[in-house]
Amino acid sequence: MRLVKLRVGSLKKGETKLVSSNILTVKNFKKYFITQQGIVKAVNDIDFSIKEGEIFGLVGESGSGKSTVAYTVAGLYKPTEGEITYRNQDISNESKKRSKELKKEIQIVFQDPGTSLNPVRSINQILELPLQVHGLFKNRKDRTEKVKELLKMVELPEDYIYKYPQMLGGGERQMISIARALATNPSLVLLDEPTSALDVSIQAKVISMLIKLQKDFNLSYLFITHDLSLMRNVALSVAIMYLGKICENALSSDFFRNPLHPYTQMLLSSIPVLTEEEEKLKPKKVKSTGEIPSPVNIPPGCSFHSRCHEKMDICSKEDPVMVEVTKGHFVRCHLFK
């Protein structure tokens, strides 16, 4: 049993409680899209879970299916198959009829704040809207005070309530997006590459803010990114996606010390470093070859075999299954049958 901060019932900020339960569990989850080119298997039978108070990293290249996972958990898509459970409540079929309480509990921060914020609404109107929708404050004065509190929470001046998104920088707009997500006092926040659209100089500030808020308010994060090095210092657990499937899942401490899947090794070996000491921590150099295939035309057998430096005859014929190599360290590869 693990000691984490959990916000339930009468618990207040900073209090702790022993928990070992999952806030989110995903089982046999599939999401397919029908297009003119064929069926896109965006997410093709994955399993993972997020514990209360945990930051769970979901990493992969563009087109791997990461964002589809977040949008389905948020209720924007309905799963083709499988089960999504939030605190023991099956929410798989509630994309169109989710209760207001559930919508309050699960919030999402999108990748590009420039397109996720309404340009004709002031910051006050943007942050006030979720408060109105969920009936959290009955009068305008109280809502305005809450908006100012939210701005303070993300370290922006109170007078920003009079500004509009186009008047702000990219980092400031993303801070507004984060404040909007926190307006309903959620427990689970889905972060869909929250820093990838920002300048490098701003990314560190946004990441630090997200970590601080997670600790202060005992939040659980599904943190989606293509930046594997970022997860080393942020996430407790990491899962790697490739063409709609999870190929490796482990605690961060095990994951970076002993990467098992050839795709994971390829990603880690391509991370740029500044010192020889950092270079020694990386796995042996694995040349990155080819590009991720189209999800409409996934290779037979193991979907990674066309790029794999360890491929065997069986890899092009049979799709491997996920196995637990060491406690809590799972990998989907024929090398570990």
- The pLDDT tens digits of the residues spanning 86-118 come to 999 999 876 557 888 999 999 999 999 889 999
Query: Exposed (0-12), middle (13-18) or buried (19+): which is 276, by Cβ within 10 Å?
Result: exposed
> Where do the domains of the chain lie, and which CATH numbers do they carry?
2-120+164-336 (3.40.50.300)
pLDDT tens per residue, range 246-268: 999 999 989 888 999 999 998 88
Q: Could you tell me the pLDDT band of residue 10, with boundaries at 50, 70 and 90? A: very low
Q: What is the predicted pLDDT for the residue at 45?
A: 95
In this prediction the pTM is: 0.88
What's the CA gap between 77 and 91, in Å, rounded?
12
Q: Is the pLDDT of residue 11 over 60?
A: no
Q: Could you tell me the pLDDT band of residue 8, with boundaries at 50, 70 and 90? A: very low
Q: Could you tell me the pLDDT band of residue 292, with boundaries at 50, 70 and 90? A: confident
Mean of per-residue pLDDT scores for the chain: 88
First to last CA, the chain: 30
Q: Could you tell me the pLDDT band of residue 12, with boundaries at 50, 70 and 90? A: very low
What's the CA gap between 337 and 333, in Å, rounded?
7
Q: What is the predicted pLDDT for the residue at 53?
A: 95
To the nearest 10 degrees (0 to 180), the angle between helices 200-216 and 170-182 is 20
Contact 69, 224 (CB under 8 A): yes
Paired residues of 111 in beta bridges = none
